[in-house]
Amino acid sequence: MTVAGHLVVVLLLLALTLAPSPAAAQAACKAEKFSSNRAFATCTDLPRLGASVHWTYDASASSLSVAFVAAPPSSGGWVAWGLNPTGDGMTGAQALVAAPSGANGAYRVQTYKIAGYALGSPGPIAYPTTGLAAELGADGKVRMFGTLALQNGTGEVNQVWQVGPVSGGSIAPHAMGVDNKAAKGKLNLVTGATTAGSAGGSLLRKKNTHGVLNAVSWGLLLPMGAIFARYLKTFKSADPAWFYLHVACQVIGYAVGVSGWATGIHLGNLSKGITYSLHRNIGIAVFALGTLQIFALFLRPKTDHKYRFYWNAYHHSMGYTIIILGIINIFKGMSILNVAQKWKTAYIIAICVLGGIAVILEAVTWVIVLKRRKSENKTYNGASNGGLPLSM
């Protein structure tokens, strides 16, 4: 066996040695002690956000007494746990949310029936609740309690849980990290078996689609179209190919960008109460300016028209503004989505490649233009002197 093979075997044995047994995995939640002599029949450590859930399930009465334990992301933050009878995510969840209330900062539990991708307002949920309470421990964890009257025959449920900050006395949106997005799964109330959720889901797919469409359109196709227009037209052999390449990139980029903008509007409608104002406003500005650019094509004067100079100035300044704002907003969107660094790096590389090509072509075209002007000046000077060489 090679040295690499021995190393792999050693690492596998070490991993097996250090891996906790199922009994040890449950030891953390079983060591939890609650106030007021509260006790629960079963518990499990949840795979995300360092949380745990404890419960006693009375199948004959369809009654679930539960305790949820988690640390908020910052002091004075909120924690939430709930069941979703219609899906496996946030939409449709019947949630218990514990947050500070009052001058003394004591935690209070309220119920929320979540209809979209925002918390909404507190109100009754599908499961009648009693005994709602919460307390903040010396370890910084919030312990939330309640009893839910479930439907008859309930055995396995979809659970969701979350933690987030409080800002200005109000519950603020939670982070969009991998753990936050994957804080969901199935819980078997009878056997105690749990299955972990993933960071996927329809909302995340829509967000990713929104990001990809905008990155390709405003962030790649439009800069490529600008490069074709600025540099290729310097080469006489590229006329009129440069114009058709420019128009194709801009029109396709705009069409794809409109799709990305529409998905953003749809996401905004799904996420009432969660607003990324700067990202939204830049997106609206880019879409509006892009639409003006498209309509400006129909007002394009002929080359020798007296207004062509003004049209060119408008068209160029507007185009560069759209490209700059589009790229800025793409990075804003990546931060909101908390995308993996490899995707940010890939986009940065793509932009740098386009920027490098632009710099090289800028130098080449200036050399060509200067040589062309020098040649034209010689021709002009020769013609002005009757075609005779200048003499001293």
Annotated binding site for heme b: which residue ranges? 210, 246, 279, 315
336 token code pair? 């909101």
- The CA radius of gyration of the chain, in Å to the nearest whole number, is 31
Query: Residue 194 in contact with residue 185, Cβ under 8 Å?
Result: yes
Residue 309: exposure state from Cβ atoms within 10 A (0-12, 13-18, ≥19) = exposed
What is the helix (H) or strand (E) element at residue 228, kind and residue range?
helix 222-231
Task: Please state, in angstroms and rounded to a whole number, the distance separating the CA atoms of residues 33 and 19.
Answer: 25
Q: Which residues make Cβ contacts (< 8 Å) with residue 67, sequence separation at least 6?
A: 34, 38, 40, 53, 54, 55, 143, 144, 145
Task: Give the residue among 89, 111, 108 at the shortest CA–CA distance from 166.
Answer: 108
Give me the DSSP letters along 296-322. HGGG---TTSTTHHHHHHHHHHHHHHH
The CA-based diameter of the chain, rounded to the nearest angstrom, is 117
Give me the DSSP letters along 88-102. SSSTT-EEEEEEEET
Phi-psi region of 203 (alpha: psi -120 to 50; beta: other; left: phi over 0): alpha
Query: Residue 96 in contact with residue 127, Cβ under 8 Å?
Result: no
Binding-site residue ranges: 210, 246, 279, 315
